Structure 1
Amino acid sequence: MRALLTALAAMFVAGSAGAAPPAQMELWRLDCGTAVVNDLDIFSDTFAYAGKTKRITDSCYLIRHGENYLLWDAGLPGALLGKTVNSGPFTMSLSTRIVDQLARIGVKPEQVTLVGISHRHDDHTGQLTDFAKATLFIGAGDFEAMKKGESAALIAPWTKTGAKLELLTGDKDVFGDGSVVMLATPGHTENHHSLLVRLPKTGPVLLTGDLYHFTENRTTRGVPSFNTSRADTLASMDRFEAIVKRLKAKVVIQHEPDDIAKLPAFPQSAQ
């Protein structure tokens, strides 16, 4: 018995000694544009915001996992740089590009080898082609919709030049260690995703994608009139909030200006 216990102890020590330490992680919030919603009522299928307007932000995020970089969402199109453009219910503007912000922290576009997209809308995919060599993670239904629509050029590197692509219908553990997980939260679009980032010092952070667009939208469980499925949206909200409660996670609504301050101001990072 003593010999068996000694052998088991030796195996445990050897296994512990060989275990790789957790990857160092950082999370940066990037400025990917701003917009004024000239008809806020499009964000409610129960006419909750008739006659109202609202200024929203467009946030993207860079995650460092060891030597690897993941870009989460790709913001408004780079062609809007320095311009203010009216487009339907939105007045949009872009003051800086993602690549210029990355340069400030010494990261080159080619170092971003992974790009995760919450969903197919242009304010989340606009600068995708600046990362044409990266592996793209995106919902399968969203990718198919982009191929057939006006946004097809944004995904040309992944449809025409053979860039790596992974189409998702469920969750995606990006690095295989549970630290960064794309969570399936369909409803806003066919295969919408939110992002869970487990930071060693800050703790769990949940980036909403467009599951919610602003704080009141979350409080009232409001469903935009242009969502693909009301039922899926509400089910995704249930799942998201259960994860928030279980993990005691910090929620960052990507379009909510007040949530910018929940993370360090660029070029500082959350760790």
Structure 2
Amino acid sequence: MMRKTIAALMAFASATMLSAVSQAQDIKLYAFSSGALTIGKGVLQNNAPMTPEIQVPVGFYVVRHPKGIVVFDTGNNDKIITDPSYWGEAFKALKPVNTPDIAIDAQLQKIGVKPDDVTYVVVSHLHLDHGGNVVKFPKSTIVVQKSEIQNAFWPEAGTGGPYVLGDFLPLRAPGADFPNAVKMLQLDGDRDLFGDGTVVVKRWVGHTPGSQMMTVRLKNKGMTILTGDNVYFRENVEKNLPPNIVLAYSPNGILTAYEWIRYMMATEKADFMTAHDPDAFKAMKKAPEFYD
């Protein structure tokens, strides 16, 4: 009986793995940028210099899966292209690129995708440079941690600065009986989006109370981890360099994210992609090129 049980479990595991590999054959991962910000590196990384300032990308990603399209993060709100005052003092402080070509619609057009084509919008967190365009996907399902929504509307002391209420306020419908204006998955943990292990949202409290990452299993590249702001630069993981404590809700959570990423790199030959590393982003394939 024990042998039969073990054999059955091995067969199930093998079938599951083969299914994931089969699905991964048709998955493509695209990298985009919603412009750039100009800041001192020390704003993001502990003990890094504040001068000279550096320009960092505002990266976001798209996954084409046989069962749907997933957008991971949505960049800066397109409103700043025509109305810099939308960000208030943050516009002067961050000096964002705000040319028309960085609009999310224009970016998605590079791969023939319109906002209405997107199945899921996964937001690593709702800061102004990650959740800016989340409401431009009214036909998609927004995937966010419930604790992130709560903190965005009612931020804990010291955490509210990077949120812009106008970015996500339209997600809430008027009236107590219909709290969501769009379809939403308010998570309290991980979620396998397509049920095959290829695209998995991972709750990881670090940068914010509801920050999350996402893993994508690709046939050729293998597992790729989209980190959001739990990792700013590749050297954070490679050299175990902590972020600026001001932007770290849970420093321990961020350090354990580094550790987990290193473990996945060692055991599964995984890779990871950040949103703001200028050198890493420069070396990436940019849409319409892709990883598979």
Aligned equivalent of 1:179, options 191, 198, 215: 198
- Aligned to 1:22, the other structure's residue is in SS state helix
Q: Deviations over 1:121-175 (max 9, x none)?
A: 1100111121122111112221112223663332244321531111223222111
CA contact (8 A) 2:236 2:258 kept: no
Aligned equivalent of 2:267, options 240, 243, 246: 246
Change (3 A) 1:263 1:175: farther
Looking at secondary structure, tell me which structure has more helix per residue. 2
Aligned equivalent of 1:258, options 270, 276, 279: 279
Q: Deviations over 1:74-100 (max 9, x none)?
A: 001102227888626422113311111
Q: Distance in 2 between matches of 1:97 and 1:147?
A: 25
Deviation, 1:65, is 0.5
CA contact (8 A) 1:221 1:237 kept: no
Q: Distance in 1 between matches of 2:225 and 2:130?
A: 17
Change (3 A) 1:51 1:257: closer
Residue of structure 2 in register with 1:60 after alignment: 60
What is the TM-score normalised by the length of structure 2? 0.77
Q: Which moved more, 1:80-89 or 1:256-265?
A: 80-89
Is structure 2 residue 139 aligned with structure 1 residue 133? yes
Aligned equivalent of 2:247, options 216, 223, 226: 226
Q: Distance in 1 between matches of 2:82 and 2:182?
A: 30
Change (3 A) 1:200 1:153: same
Aligned equivalent of 2:232, options 193, 213, 220: 213
Q: Distance in 2 between matches of 1:123 and 1:169?
A: 23
Deviation, 1:241, is 2.0
Q: Which moved more, 1:148-157 or 1:215-224?
A: 148-157
Pick the structure with greater CA Rg: 1
Looking at secondary structure, tell me which structure has more strand per residue. 1
Change (3 A) 1:226 1:245: same
Deviation, 1:236, is 2.3
Q: Which moved more, 1:97-106 or 1:142-151?
A: 142-151
Q: Which moved more, 1:202-211 or 1:81-90?
A: 81-90
Is structure 2 residue 143 aligned with structure 1 residue 124? no
Q: Distance in 2 between matches of 1:43 and 1:265?
A: 24
Is structure 2 residue 200 aligned with structure 1 residue 153? no
Q: Distance in 1 between matches of 2:120 and 2:205?
A: 21
CA contact (8 A) 1:76 1:123 kept: yes
CA contact (8 A) 2:38 2:54 kept: yes
CA contact (8 A) 1:76 1:127 kept: yes
After superposition, the CA RMSD in angstroms is 2.8
Identity of aligned residues (%): 25
The one-letter amino acid paired with 2:80 is L
Q: Distance in 2 between matches of 1:199 and 1:263?
A: 16
Is structure 2 residue 27 aligned with structure 1 residue 25? yes
Q: Distance in 1 between matches of 2:283 and 2:68?
A: 24
The one-letter amino acid paired with 2:242 is G
Q: Distance in 1 between matches of 2:233 and 2:119?
A: 30
Deviation, 1:262, is 4.9
- Aligned to 2:124, the other structure's residue is in SS state coil
Aligned equivalent of 1:93, options 85, 93, 97: 97
Bigger relative CO (Cα 8 Å, ≥ 6 apart): 2
Q: Distance in 2 between matches of 1:83 and 1:252?
A: 30
Q: Distance in 1 between matches of 2:94 and 2:190?
A: 31
Q: Distance in 2 between matches of 1:111 and 1:67?
A: 12
CA contact (8 A) 1:185 1:237 kept: no
Q: Distance in 1 between matches of 2:44 and 2:33?
A: 22
